[in-house]
């Protein structure tokens, strides 16, 4: 239960930092906060402590590939934000992330059948 509370606290801290940075003159740094490996650290610790180092290596490799859907999301936001409203921009960008993440999962499961 304490571990779950700690994870929630980390998430709340990230939201607080994003909110504070978005109001500062360096507002653009708020876009970097989600890239701090808070949850990756947790995932890698759990995988590394419960599985083998080969599993951790596979997890890290998949994490690298998972940057593609994030890049698709950011590219969609970049392209759409001056053409449509905020809600539509974020909705379409999220849909683009979902589609590209689904494609990544399908490709990964076919190329790495033992990892699934």
pTM of the model: 0.79
Per the prediction, the chain carries an average pLDDT of 91
Beta-carbon contacts of 42 under 8 Å, excluding residues fewer than 6 positions away, are 7, 10
Tell me which range, 3-7, 13-17, 44-48, is most confidently predicted by mean pLDDT.
44-48
pLDDT, one tens digit per residue, over 11-35 is 888 889 999 999 998 888 888 888 8
| Percent of the chain residues topping a pLDDT of 70 | 97
**Extents of the domains making up the chain:** 1-36, 51-116
């Amino acid at each position: 239960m304490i571990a779950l509370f700690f994870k929630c606290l980390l998430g709340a801290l990230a939201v607080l930092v994003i909110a504070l940075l978005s109001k500062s003159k360096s507002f653009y740094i708020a876009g970097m906060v989600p890239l701090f490996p808070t949850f990756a650290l947790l995932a890698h610790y759990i995988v590394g402590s419960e599985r083998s180092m080969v599993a951790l290596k596979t997890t890290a490799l998949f994490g690298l590939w998972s940057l593609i859907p994030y890049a698709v999301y950011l590219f969609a936001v970049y392209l759409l934000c001056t053409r449509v409203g905020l809600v539509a921009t974020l909705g379409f960008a999220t849909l683009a992330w979902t589609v590209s993440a689904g494609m990544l999962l399908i490709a990964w499961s076919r190329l790495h059948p033992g990892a699934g």
